[in-house]
């Protein structure tokens, strides 16, 4: 058997299976046990990643039962001493290509963008209102326990207006200052309160980017060596979107204009067919990610259920870790 075939059959496929099984288990546990605090949810989402990578390296079993089957599978895998150098090489190549396309996409996005102060005064004034709203609300109230990774010392965001036909606001990460590129046509479709909601949501994304290990962007860096990382990245994106919705509504204090903004933005995006947007969608870390629209709206219109106590959620999180270790090893 060729080395590549051996790697696919006894390293890669078991790693995918192990990641899928643990991911299904964790997702089920999060819903059943109602673990709502962000840092607890994030810690549990790393179980499938860790498990998948270990099995990929030929370490550990897919599951503890049936043990004989999975022990035989592991015995035929390629040793981690042979795999690690190739994994590191592949990771380096993919990161280089990724950074190249990120830089190129930034240039495209900023090519015809103009400062909102000059091109769209309403948008500039809206950003000032949003910053003031965030400054007035204590950070622990803004976060609401939705996610742990928050920084509260950000400067006023730089807002640009693009005529390139973007179908959604764009956030540029890893810049010296927070930068939001807003579609010019969308500005005219939103009322002042709705503009505030859109910018409050995009600005909240910057507050969720520190540290990188707990973000969907950070997860995407290891997606090339862990097939399960892409699935987990999608779930983290949904967590981040919901957290940003909660933060924006808390800061602005009114969910109705925000919900109306989501509806208008969704209709606007659905009606756009932009070549630029198509090219940028391969770079999720540059885009304001859009999860299932109905899920976001339903969360805003339904009455908030009382949050479970910290002690109960912490006990549930520990229980999931113990059961995961027992089942999957």
pLDDT tens figures, 283-327: 333 333 344 566 677 667 665 555 567 789 899 999 999 999 888
Measured CA to CA, the distance from residue 199 to residue 182 in angstroms comes to 9
- DSSP strand pairing (170-172 vs 114-115): unpaired
Residue that has been written with the tokens 């113990």 in this structure:
322
Would residue 174 be called left, alpha or beta, if left means φ above 0 and alpha means ψ between -120 and 50 degrees?
A: left
Tokens of 268: 């606007």
Please give the helix or strand (H or E) that residue 113 lies within, else none. none
**SS3 call for 64:** coil
Please give the helix or strand (H or E) that residue 170 lies within, else none. strand 170-172
Domain ranges within the chain, ordered by starting residue:
115-291
pLDDT at 278 over 60: no
Do 47 and 22 contact (CB within 8 A), yes or no? yes
Query: Other CB atoms closer than 10 Å to residue 71's CB: what's the count?
Result: 12
Tokens of 143: 């976060």
Residue that has been written with the tokens 């899920």 in this structure:
295
pLDDT at 172 over 90: no
Reported as a pLDDT band with limits 50, 70 and 90, residue 193 is very high
Do 211 and 247 contact (CB within 8 A), yes or no? no
Do 149 and 208 contact (CB within 8 A), yes or no? yes
Angle 169-254-285 (CA atoms, 0-180°, nearest 5)? 25
* Size of the chain in residues: 329
Compute the mean pLDDT over every residue in the chain, rounded to the nearest whole number: 79
pLDDT of residue 150: 57
Q: Average pLDDT of 94-102?
A: 85
Instruction: Name the pTM for this structure.
Output: 0.76
Q: 39 or 12: which carries more pLDDT confidence?
A: 12
Measured CA to CA, the distance from residue 199 to residue 204 in angstroms comes to 8
């Amino acid at each position: 058997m060729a080395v590549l075939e051996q790697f696919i059959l006894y390293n890669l496929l078991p790693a995918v299976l192990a990641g899928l099984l643990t991911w299904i288990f964790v997702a089920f546990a999060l819903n059943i046990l109602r673990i709502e605090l962000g840092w607890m949810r994030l810690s549990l989402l790393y179980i499938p990643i860790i498990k998948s990578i270990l099995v990929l390296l030929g370490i550990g079993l897919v599951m503890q039962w049936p043990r004989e089957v999975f022990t035989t599978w592991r015995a035929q895998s390629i040793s981690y001493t042979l795999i690690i150098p190739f994994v590191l090489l592949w990771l380096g190549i993919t990161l280089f290509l990724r950074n190249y396309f990120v830089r190129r996409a930034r240039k495209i996005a900023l090519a015809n963008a103009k400062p909102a102060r000059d091109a769209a005064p309403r948008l500039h004034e809206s950003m000032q209102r949003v910053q003031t709203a965030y400054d007035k609300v204590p950070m622990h109230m803004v976060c609401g326990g939705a996610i742990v990774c928050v920084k509260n010392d950000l400067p006023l965001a730089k807002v640009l207006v693009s005529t390139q036909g973007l179908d959604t606001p764009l956030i540029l990460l890893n810049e010296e200052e927070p930068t939001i590129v807003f579609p010019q046509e969308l500005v005219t479709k939103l009322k002042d309160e709705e503009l505030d909601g859109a910018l409050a949501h995009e600005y909240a994304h910057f507050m969720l980017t520190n540290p990188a290990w707990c973000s969907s962007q950070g997860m995407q860096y290891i997606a090339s060596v862990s097939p399960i990382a892409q699935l987990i990245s999608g779930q983290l994106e949904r967590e981040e979107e919901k957290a940003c919705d909660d933060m924006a509504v808390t800061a602005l204090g009114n969910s109705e204009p925000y919900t109306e903004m989501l509806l208008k933005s969704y209709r606007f995006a659905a009606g756009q067919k932009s070549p630029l947007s198509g090219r940028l969608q391969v770079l999720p870390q540059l885009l304001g990610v859009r999860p299932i629209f109905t899920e976001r709206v339903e969360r805003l219109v339904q009455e908030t259920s009382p949050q479970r106590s910290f002690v109960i959620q912490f006990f549930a999180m520990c229980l999931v870790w113990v059961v995961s270790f027992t089942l999957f090893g």
